[in-house]
A = this chain, B = another copy of it.
Amino acid sequence: MMTVANPKQNHLLDALLIGEFSRLLPNLEHIELPLGKVLYESGGTLDHVYFPTTSIISLLYVMENGAAAEIAVVGNEGILGISLFMGGETTSSRAVVQSAGYAYRLKAQLLKDEFNRGGPVQRLLLRYTQALITQMAQTAVCNRHHTVEQQLCRWLLLSLDRLASDELTMTQELIANMLGVRREGVTEAAGRLQREGIINYSRGHIAVLNRKALEKRSCECYKVVKAEFDRLLPALHGIAT
């Protein structure tokens, strides 16, 4: 399943390495990210940035009472740690490994220096950030207007795109945490999808049997976000099928 480690597995990193950025190649660490690992804590400082290859990272916004919701996901199309070069020094959200896998890691200062040189590296990172902003905005509206089932479909599709696979390891409980809803709500929605033969799951393993149908049940948010990523980062096709 897992091939030889290769920075090209992350499309953003791949695009960055075309230019002078490649001098950083020796500084890239290939590391394993277990499910549930917290990479950034809300309000904490950033020591590294991450370029996921086979993993997916969730950006969670946690509230005072503990309730949370996912505001964006980062997979093999992007980079985790944008607030580093945006200037905040700290991140305002928690970053959790949503799907176990691998990522390349880079010391924060190195990326920062490279960003501050300006040029194509900076431009690409900012374009990616713009795409991430779109995802966050869409999530905000989605939370307001769409049903749990629609959001579950959107979430599954976004995850699949970042795994280049048709199945993922994820309990309903965890999905509910991401979406900021009850576990039972996810169970019901997933049950409907399963009865209609769209997905198949058991104890933390979800297989998508009919992707087209899943897209149909999803709200528009999925395709809007995907379209914006494709538009802003055309060189990075392969984000999705």
Contact = CB atoms under 8 A, between A and B. Distances in A.
User: How many interface residues does chain A have, given as a range?
Assistant: 35 or more
A145 interface: yes
Interface string A110-136: 000000101000010011011001101
Main secondary structure of the interface of A (DSSP, over half): helix
Interface in A50-79: 59, 61, 63-64, 67-69, 71
A195 interface: no
A180 interface: yes
A144 interface: yes
Nearest to A128: B87
Contacts of A215: none
A141 B63 contact: yes
A228 interface: yes
A85 B130 CA distance: 10
Given A68-B141, A143-B140, A133 B130 contact: no
A71 B130 contact: no
Given A138-B61, A140-B140, A88 B130 contact: yes
B88 A140 contact: no
10 contacts: A67-B141, A69-B140, A86-B126, A87-B126, A88-B130, A92-B134, A118-B118, A136-B137, A141-B143, A144-B180
User: Nearest 6 CB-CB pairs, A to B?
Assistant: A140-B140, A87-B127, A86-B130, A143-B143, A143-B144, A144-B180
